[in-house]
Structure 1
Amino acid sequence: MPHLTLALSTQPADGIAGWAADLVDKMGGPGAGLAIALENLFPPLPSEVILPLTGFAAGQGVLSLGAALFWTTFGSVAGAVALYWIGMLFGRERMFALWARLPLVKTSDLERTEAWFARHGTKAVLLGRMVPIFRSLISVPAGLERMRMPLFIMLTTLGSLIWNSVLILAGYWLGDQWGVVETSIGILSKVVVALVAAALATYLAVRLKGRRKARHRRV
């Protein structure tokens, strides 16, 4: 059987890439699934490395393309379900109690977020599986809001299959240039983080301004 670590000998195979390559070499498809399950639980493990690398492995004959798609999607769903249970076990009451202790936020903000999720939760879970950073995080509010498990699994499976297919096929077609995918998705991840940071900064600025105005009125 071909070995992925040998196929990577012409380029760096240390760090995350080396770890994922070793898992796929030793376990095949289940190894790729395990890597992606862990990526869901620990977002610093980047799917933009693991998935194209798995596609490259399929191109090298280490595993079949069908096995790559099946096991990585299975791993995605398994990791997402674990996060869903964490959200459900943490519970709505604890979430509100924690929120009430945070500065510059109001309970009404969380209530509006709940109302938004009630209206758009299905789209949020489906599309969230295809957005860097939020791929993992979206499972937690789904658990907090106790989205029906069959619906959650269906949406997570579909969204994960689309995301995984794009990155795996990219790695499959690019061959030993699979690292290009990591660079492209890495840029997208930075854009997402920048947008979230900007939104948070705007929110905090509005809250601080509102507090100052309230103080002036009391004076």
Structure 2
Amino acid sequence: MLQDFIAWILATVHDWGYIGIFILMALESTVLPVPSELVLIPAGYLAHQGQMNIGLILLTSTVGCLVGALFNYAVAMWVGRPFLERWGRYFFVRPELLHKTDAFFVKHGAVSTFTGRLIPGIRHLISIPAGLSRMNLGAFASYTSLGAGLWSLILTLFGYFLGGNEALIREYQHFITAGVIAFVALIIGGYVWWQKRC
């Protein structure tokens, strides 16, 4: 079944082109398990072959990510927030925790949203606490787009330069992930240092 799912993703990118990338990346930014690596690395390879344009791949991918993230944000704000305010104590989410989350996102929402978009496993969930805390929508959209655009660029270039060499892709994919996580750690470390100086 997993192989069928992967084959469907690859076929969608190949057959639907930019619309397929937009749809799949929007789904990836919600809670559905669509790995962005399986969308953008093949798209980068198609760009390498001259069948797609890197700029349009990045545009449709970033906009798709933003649409999916805004969906999570809206559901968290309009459904999740009222639910937790009324019933949260039964799920160990007390009002004090919500207030702490609000305060955290007022102060650190920008860096959390940007770096969260670069971390696998967190990237599609970071919009939920942002929505729960009612983070400023303009700031949320801006930093989501920056993080999603950077992630899309990395994966697309990965597929472009390694071409169709699946063995190399499998070999170096872990290094890409580790490099991005190290980059995120540097950003967070610099941010913490800057906050302490202020």
Shorter-chain TM band: 0.7 to 0.9
Q: Deviations over 1:20-74 (max 9, x none)?
A: 2221222211211111111112342111222212111211222111111111111
Give the C-alpha shift of residue 91 in structure 1.
4.6
Give the C-alpha shift of residue 125 in structure 1.
0.9
Residue 41 of structure 2 is aligned with which of 52, 57, 62? 52
Q: After superposition, where does 1:114-129 map in structure 2 within 5 Å? A: 114-129=102-117
Structure 1: which amino acid aligns with 2:72?
A: L
Superposition TM-score, scaled by structure 2 size: 0.77
Give the C-alpha shift of residue 97 in structure 1.
3.0
Measured in 2, the distance between the counterparts of 1:181 and 1:125 equals 29
- Pick which of 173-182 and 127-136 moved more: 173-182
Partner of residue 180, structure 1: 170
Partner of residue 71, structure 2: 82
Change (3 A) 1:42 1:116: closer
Partner of residue 66, structure 1: 55
Partner of residue 140, structure 1: 128
Change (3 A) 1:134 1:64: same
For 1:135, what is the secondary structure of its paired residue? coil
Contact 1:20 1:32 (8 Å CA) reproduced: no
Q: Does residue 153 of the first structure (1) align with residue 141 of the second (2)?
A: yes
Residue 17 of structure 2 is aligned with which of 25, 28, 37? 28
Structure 1: which amino acid aligns with 2:4?
A: G
Contact 1:77 1:157 (8 Å CA) reproduced: yes
Structure 1: which amino acid aligns with 2:66?
A: V
Q: Does residue 15 of the first structure (1) align with residue 21 of the second (2)?
A: no
Aligned length: 176
Superposition TM-score, scaled by structure 1 size: 0.71
For 1:44, what is the secondary structure of its paired residue? coil
Contact 1:83 1:143 (8 Å CA) reproduced: yes
Q: Does residue 99 of the first structure (1) align with residue 85 of the second (2)?
A: no
Taking only the aligned residue pairs, the percentage that are identical comes to 33
Measured in 1, the distance between the counterparts of 2:87 and 2:59 equals 38
Contact 2:31 2:125 (8 Å CA) reproduced: no
Gaps of 5+ in 1: 1-13, 192-219
Larger Cα-atom Rg = 1
Partner of residue 157, structure 2: 169
Contact 2:21 2:39 (8 Å CA) reproduced: yes
Gaps of 5+ in 2: 182-198
- Pick which of 94-103 and 106-115 moved more: 106-115
Measured in 2, the distance between the counterparts of 1:159 and 1:30 equals 21
Contact 1:40 1:80 (8 Å CA) reproduced: yes
Structure 1: which amino acid aligns with 2:165?
A: Q
